[in-house]
Amino acid sequence: MALWGNNDNVSYRYDGLSGTVTVDYDTLEVQGTGTTFGSPGFAKTGDVIRIGFRGTGGTYFGDAAIVGIASTTSITIASTDGLSGAAIAATSYWISELPQYTTLNPAYSEDSTFNQETSSFQTYFTGASEGYTGTACSNIGILGTYQNDYYNHVAGRIGPDYQGNNGVKLSNDGNQIGIQAIGYGYANAGAGSGVGSDRVYVGLDDFPGLTTTSADTPVPSSYQDGGNFYAITSIGQTYIGLGQVLADAITIGDPIKVNNDNITWLSGDVTAGIDTGDSLVFQTYRGGHDRYVYGVSGAGVTAGLSTTGGGTSSDGIYGTSAGWVGVTTYVDTDGNYRVKKEVLVAMSGITTGPAGLAGTAGAAYPPTYA
């Protein structure tokens, strides 16, 4: 009985279908339906049974070494240490010749106690609100002076490229709201203003934390109309007073851009009001941990060299050598997807197959669902 072979896709049964298995965690017995365990060219003692679907939309239960075969429909496994612990009944599987010792290594177990961890939004920075933000407002006030703690933590990870699970988010009412910009924001004019007027009908209700100035410059506080800047010299709840009269008329509903160090413009409206002095919790999506042993063929090596997506290696995020390779994936503290590889057995001639073929047929490398 060899410690490993080179096949991550041992034949299932004579007609090419996969059959299903049910696992008894107490007796270590695996009962098959439509299986051909022990038949020449099929599962044998020393092989590993990999249970479930390793891919998008499936559930993968883990690996176990086969130590006994009672019949074509009944085998005994060495341990359930590599399995998730969830009930396994009438579930797809495939047979592999990967190194048996990995099934007893907690690092490669599908048990969440050891291996799996789900990525989540976690607190990254906490500040204090500089003004009241009502629901349906997409601006917040927080002391945002250039190079202060808030700016240094947040400014590098905001904007259109940092939405979804990327970048820094404001946590509000159970939601994570992306940040579009620091130092300015937008709101719609509540009323029109004619040429020669010195008022624009937005105010503290729209721009919490807004301050006044006497300078017609982008900062510290101005209404911006194209390349023209108007100093904000007075602030009401629903209007701002300007240091000079308007050269262009404003129509009700027009988008109004206001520059101010304290303003942070969000990618969506808050759904729970924020009072002055309330904590503002900013979060990032990080964590997560998954480790899995792949059989990497020559084709897998080539495919891994062309992968991108946040890795630090110049030879592809999944670049590795052929053989049995332990792959760890996770999201780092900056929200970047990371991949670490450890070649457990370097060897050529690995046979594998794409997850999903005939139910489950050897997870292909690199994974397409990661």
Residues 136 and 190 in one domain: yes
pLDDT attached to residue 315: 57
In a domain, 337, yes or no: yes
In a domain, 322, yes or no: yes
Kindly state whether residue 2 falls inside one of the protein's structural domains.
Answer: no
Q: For residues 186 and 227, state if they share a domain.
A: yes
pLDDT for 33 beyond 50: yes
Q: Which of 251, 277, 303 is the last residue of a domain?
A: 277
Taking the CB of residue 223, how many other CB atoms lie within 10 A of it?
Answer: 23
pLDDT value, residue 127 = 92
The answer on 294 and 272 residing in a single domain is no
Task: Answer with the one of 250, 277, 304 that is the final residue of a domain.
Answer: 277
Identify whether residues 297 and 331 lie together within a single domain. Answer: yes
Do 185 and 250 have their domain in common? yes
Q: What is the sign of the dihedral through the CA atoms of 202, 205, 207 and 213?
A: positive
Residues 145 and 265 in one domain: yes
**Contact by Cβ (8 Å): 246, 195:** yes
| List of residues 6+ apart from 148 with CB closer than 8 A | none
| Reported confidence tier of residue 314, pLDDT bands at 50, 70, 90 | very low
Q: Is residue 161 part of a domain?
A: yes
Q: Which two tokens stand for residue 81?
A: 């240490």
Together in a domain, 88 and 227: no
309 pLDDT more than 60: no
Is 367 domain-assigned? Answer: no
Q: What is the number of structural domains in the chain?
A: 2
Does some domain include residue 314? yes
pLDDT digits (tens, 9 = 90+) for 90-110: 998 889 999 999 999 988 888
Instruction: Tell me the C-alpha distance between 115 and 129, whole Å.
Output: 39
Give 44-78 as a DSSP string. Answer: -TT-EEEEE--STT--EEEEEEEEEEEETTEEEES
Give yes or no for a contact between 77 and 30, defined as CB atoms under 8 angstroms apart. Answer: yes
Q: From 84, 90, 106, select the one nearest 30 (Cα to Cα).
A: 90
Let me know: does 6 contact 350? Beta carbons within 8 Å. Answer: yes
As a whole number of angstroms, the distance between CA 94 and CA 50 comes to 5
Alpha-carbon distance 44 to 62, whole Å? 18
Per-residue pLDDT tens digits for 166-217: 889 999 999 999 999 999 999 999 999 999 999 999 999 999 999 999 989 8
Strand partners, 169: 178, 283
Residue 118 burial (10 A CB sphere; 0-12, 13-18, 19+): exposed
* Radius of gyration over every alpha carbon of the chain, rounded to an integer in angstroms: 29
Comparing C-alpha atoms, which of 207, 217, 210, 183 is closest to residue 256? 207
pLDDT tens, 250-291? 999 999 999 999 999 999 999 999 999 999 999 987 766 788
Whether 267 and 342 map to the same domain: the answer is no
- Going across the sheet that includes 60-71, the strands are 20-24, 29-33, 74-77, 60-71, 48-52, 93-96
Say if residue 141 is in the same domain as residue 102.
no
d(CA 100, CA 103): 6
Angle ∠(162,164,167) on CA atoms, nearest 5: 35
Same domain, 164 and 90: no
Is residue 136 located within the same domain as residue 247?
yes
Q: 95: how many CB neighbours lie within 10 A of its CB?
A: 24
Residues 200 and 292 occupy one common structural domain: no
At 164, the pLDDT band (50, 70, 90 cuts) reads confident
Start-to-end Cα distance in the chain: 34
Q: Is 106 helix (H, G, I), strand (E, B) or coil?
A: helix
Of the candidates 87, 76, 117, 95, the residue with the CA atom closest to the CA atom of residue 352 = 95
Q: Which of 239, 257, 277 is the last residue of a domain?
A: 277
How does pLDDT run across 107-141, given as a tens digit for each residue? Answer: 888 887 776 566 678 888 899 999 999 999 999 99
310 DSSP assignment: S
Nearest to 324 by CA among 96, 52, 81: 96
Q: Which domain holds residue 110?
A: 20-117+285-346
Residue 6 lies in a domain: no
Residue 1 belongs to a domain = no
